[in-house]
Amino acid sequence: MDSIKRVLFLDRVHPALDEALIAMNYKCEYLDEMPKSSPESIIGDYYGVVIRSKLKLDKNFLSKATNLKFIARAGAGMENIDVEYAVSKGIACLKAPEGNKDAVADHATGMLLALLNHLHIADAEVRKGFWRREHNRGTELFEKTVGIIGYGFTGTEFARRLSGFNVTVLAHDKYKSGFSADNVIESSLDEIFEKADIISLHLPLNDETEYMFNDSFINKFTKNIYLVNTSRGKVVKTADLVKNIVSGKILGACLDVLEYESGSFEKLRGLSMWINKRGVFFKRIARWLIKIGLWKYLHPAQYLVRSDKVILSPHVAGWSFESNKRISTILADRIRELDK
């Protein structure tokens, strides 16, 4: 390997990171400018790598990274990186979980308010010429009890957003304690199961949290609840979520992340889940048939995209213009510290 410290960008990020690395005398190179090269075939030439979440840096990949000194993950989750193996090879694994905390908190709050006030339904109906006031009567967030599971950067900021709504915030984090404050009460899961009206998930995806929000978990709640998930799609078992929306145990769901995302989500178009020419009447009949158990959707995701009780977005809660730049700036600072 030559003396120049080369960094491979497996994904594009905000140019603030490129500019900072160049100022630190790194040479930045981009996978999308090397169409004939596979990452595995060239990774041995690089000192650092920058990644979002598209590619998986597993043991097989990292074993070829003979000169790699750091992995910079532009975001929070590290599930696409074999961190344990990387660290054993002396590779620093850097991330920027605080970079999008405000964006996620804003998005979660906005989705929740839209769901409670039927804004997604009302907007669509007014655009079609319907003026249905009683049908779109909202539910106030005021004086509700909100359970936050996972009290890291985004959970903390979400609680801060809620402080102006006169709600009771109960927060649980397996790895933190002593964080009760004026706007949040540190709580056990059992206390959240007993008291919560609304649940917001702020969890990493790992062996412990995968499909944690399943039928068994849902039915531990005393009340019927609303769900907000801006963490990872596979924390929620989609089939069990749908089952409990249909039964009424889940009153509604705000989902920025899904069990099926990107390419895998788009492949579900084969189920004709987006367009149905038979329109509103068919949807009403379908919902009734599902409710009485005479018909089922071919795939649980079909229910989510058709249900008025669900608000969806394509994993963009943390994807604001500001967070995009902030993440790159934070990573630049972490690499700068690594070089000292």
Q: φ, ψ for residue 185 (rounded to 5)?
A: -115, 120
**Structure confidence at residue 190 (pLDDT):** 98
Is residue 173 within 8 Å of residue 195, measured between CB atoms?
A: no
By percentage, how much of the chain surpasses pLDDT 90?
Answer: 81
Confidence band, pLDDT 50/70/90 cuts, at residue 260: confident
Which three-class secondary structure state does DSSP give residue 181?
strand
Is residue 33's pLDDT more than 70? yes
Domain parsing of the chain, residue ranges:
5-95+320-339, 101-257+262-312
Q: Across residues 191-212, what is the average pLDDT?
A: 97
Q: Note the pLDDT of residue 277.
A: 43
Contact between residue 109 and residue 169 where contact means Cβ atoms under 8 Å apart: no
What residues does 26 pair with on adjacent strands?
5
Could you tell me which residue, 286 or 244, shows the higher pLDDT? 244
What is d(CA 214, CA 259) in angstroms, rounded to the nearest whole number? 12
Of 47-56, 226-235, 247-256, least confident by mean pLDDT is 47-56
> According to the model, what pLDDT value does residue 175 have?
94
Residue 251 has pLDDT above 90, yes or no: yes
- Alpha helix locations (H) across 233-297? 238-247, 262-266, 279-291
- CATH superfamily for domain 101-257+262-312: NAD(P)-binding Rossmann-like Domain (3.40.50.720)
**pLDDT, position 300:** 85
Tell the CATH superfamily of the 5-95+320-339 domain: NAD(P)-binding Rossmann-like Domain (3.40.50.720)
Sequence-distant (≥ 6) Cβ neighbours of residue 174 within 8 angstroms: none
Q: Where are the beta strands (DSSP E) in the chain?
A: 5-9, 26-30, 48-51, 70-73, 92-94, 145-149, 168-172, 185-186, 198-201, 225-229, 250-255, 310-312
Band (pLDDT 50/70/90 cuts) for residue 4 is: confident
Average pLDDT estimate for 95-105: 97
Prediction pTM value: 0.88
What's the confidence (pLDDT) of residue 50? 98
User: What is the per-residue pLDDT across 279-331, written as a single tens digit (0 to 9) for each?
Assistant: 455 556 666 666 666 655 557 888 898 899 999 999 999 999 999 999 999 99
CB contact set of 293 (below 8 Å; sequence gap of 6+): none
Q: Is the pLDDT of residue 57 over 90?
A: yes
